[in-house]
Copies of this chain bind each other. A is one copy, B any other.
Amino acid sequence: MLETDQLSLNIPDTTKPRVVIIGGGFGGINLAKKLKSEDFQVVMFDRQNYHGFWPLLYQVATAGLEPDSIAEPLRKMFGSDEFEDFHFRLVKVIGINPTVKTVSTLIGDLPYDYLVVATGTKSNYFGNDQVKKYSFPLKQIPDALNLRSQLLQCFEQANMTINPEIKQSLMNVVIVGGGPTGVELAGALAEMRKYILPTDYPGMDFTKMNIYLVEGMDRVLPPMSPQASAKTQQYLEELGINIKLNTLVESYDGNIATLKGGDQIRTHTLIWAAGVSGALVDGLPAEAVERGRILVNQYNQVLGFPEIFAIGDIAFMKTDEYPKGHPGVAQPAIQQGKLLAKNLPKLIRNQPLEPFKYFDKGSLAIVGRNRAVADLPKGKHLSGFLAWMIWLFVHIMYLVGFRNKLVVLSNWLYRFFTYERGTRLIIRPFVRKGDRVKREFFEKYNTE
C-alpha cells in the first residue's frame, strides 16, 4: 500500500457540472443511479468499497448470513456503460470548503459544482469513553464479524471454565438500546440459544444464558407505534429476553455493566445499539448544523449554500409533519436520493425544484420466526406470521443485486426448515483502535 503523498484523486477534467457525493449508503446510491452521464460527472467517495444493507447486519453478527449477502461492491453497482462518467474513489474525506467549492480528501482536493453529503450516522456513546472502549458496536461489517467471533469465543471459553461466576459472565449478553437493531439482535440470539447452542455445547446449560435488553425509554421500539411496542415486548418475553425499560447503562469495564441506580450485570459482551449521531464532515458553518445533523430546506439544500445538499440520516429537514426530522431509516434516504436525482437536472436547466414529501411506507421489525410487527400506513398494525412474511418479502426485495437475493433466500429457507445457522465461524475481522480484544491475545490463542 502506498503513502498518501504518492496518490492523487485522478478524476478526469470535464466540462459538465461535477456532482460529488460523499457516502455510498441508501441516499448516495439512489442518487447516483439516476443521474445521467450526459448531464453530470459524478464522483463518489466512500471508505468502504461496498454498499451495505444495514437492516440485515444483525444477521451477520448472529451467524445467519455472510457479509456478501448484505453488501454489494459499489464498482459492480456502477459498472455498466450507462455510468460512464461515474467515478468511485476509496478514500477518506477530511472536510469541505464551501467558499472555494472544494472537497478535501486524504490524497488531495477536488472542486465540485454540486456537493451531496450522504454520510449517514456513527455510533454515539454520549461521551462515555469507557463504554466506547469495552462495548461492541454494530454499525459496520467488521463490527458484525467481530461480534460473531466474540459470542462464539465466549461460549468456547465458558465451556472451559468451572468457575460458576466466570462462566455466567461469559454466557451473559447485554444489549443496550431497544430500537430495531437491539430488538432484532435479541430475538436472533434467543433463537440461537434455543435451537443451536445446546447442540453445539452439549455440556453446557443454556437455560443459564441471560440476554438483557436495556432501553432508556418506557417501551421497546420507541420509533414504532405503541401497539407494535407492546407486541414486540410480548414476543421478546416469550423468547425469554430480560427487558429492562427506563434503564440506562452508566458504566462498563469489560466485566461489569453498572446500571443507573446501581444494579450490576456481569458480562463479557455488552453490545452498544443505543444511539447514533450524524457522521458530520468538517467545513460547514455552525449555524448549518443542529443536533449533529445538517439543516436542509425542503429541496435538501444546506442553509446558505444552494449547491450543497445533505440527504438521508445526516440531513435534518424540519417539516410540520416531522418537526424533529424524518425517521432514521432507509426510506427517507432512498426517497431523498431519488428526488435529488430529479432536481439536479432541473437546477442546471433553471427549472423550479420539486420539494421533498416523505411517503411513509410503514415500519417493520422482526423478533424471530413467525414473530414480527408492522406499522402500516393509515394507522394499521400487523403482527405474527403475516408481518413476518411481509418482513421477509420486503427485505429480499430491497436487497441489492440478483445474486444476493438468491443467496439470502436460500439461507433463510434452509434455516426455516432446519433451524440451522451455517456461518458459526470464528474469524476475527480487522481489529480497530479501542477494540477490547487485543491482537496479542488473539495471536496467542489462534494463529501460528
Taking beta carbons and an 8 Å cutoff, which residues of A are in contact with B? Answer: 1-2, 6-10, 12, 47-50, 66-69, 71, 73, 75-76, 79-80, 84, 87, 89-92, 106-107, 122, 141-142, 145, 152-154, 156-157, 159-163, 166, 170, 199-203, 268, 401, 403-404, 406-407, 410-411, 414, 420, 422-433, 437, 439, 441-448
The residues of B that contact A200 with a CB separation of less than 8 Å are 73, 75-76, 79
The residues of B that contact A10 with a CB separation of less than 8 Å are 159-162, 203
Are B403 and A201 in touch, CB under 8 angstroms? Answer: no
Q: Which residue of chain B is the closest to A199 with respect to CB atoms?
A: B79
When all copies of this chain in the complex are counted, the total is 2
Known: A67-B427, A68-B66, A425-B68. Contact between A76 and B161, CB under 8 A? no
User: Which single member of B7, B76, B161, B406 contacts A410 (CB below 8 Å)?
Assistant: B406
The residues of B that contact A423 with a CB separation of less than 8 Å are 67-68
Task: Give the complex CA separation of A69 and B403 in angstroms.
Answer: 15
The residues of B that contact A433 with a CB separation of less than 8 Å are 443, 447
Are B445 and A91 in touch, CB under 8 angstroms? Answer: yes
Closest 6 CB pairs of A and B: A428-B430, A68-B423, A66-B66, A75-B200, A73-B424, A79-B199
Task: Give the complex CA separation of A165 and B406 in angstroms.
Answer: 42
Task: Give the complex CA separation of A446 and B48 in angstroms.
Answer: 7
The residues of B that contact A157 with a CB separation of less than 8 Å are 1-2, 7
Report A424 CB to chain B, min CB distance, Å.
4
Q: Which residue of chain B is the closest to A80 with respect to CB atoms?
A: B199
The residues of B that contact A199 with a CB separation of less than 8 Å are 75, 79-80
The residues of B that contact A2 with a CB separation of less than 8 Å are 157, 161, 166, 170
Report A270 CB to chain B, min CB distance, Å.
14
Are B445 and A92 in touch, CB under 8 angstroms? Answer: yes
Are A268 and B425 in touch, CB under 8 angstroms? Answer: no
Task: Give the complex CA separation of A403 and B156 in angstroms.
Answer: 24
The residues of B that contact A152 with a CB separation of less than 8 Å are 49
Are B439 and A160 in touch, CB under 8 angstroms? Answer: no
Known: A160-B91, A161-B10, A425-B67. Contact between A47 and B447, CB under 8 A? yes
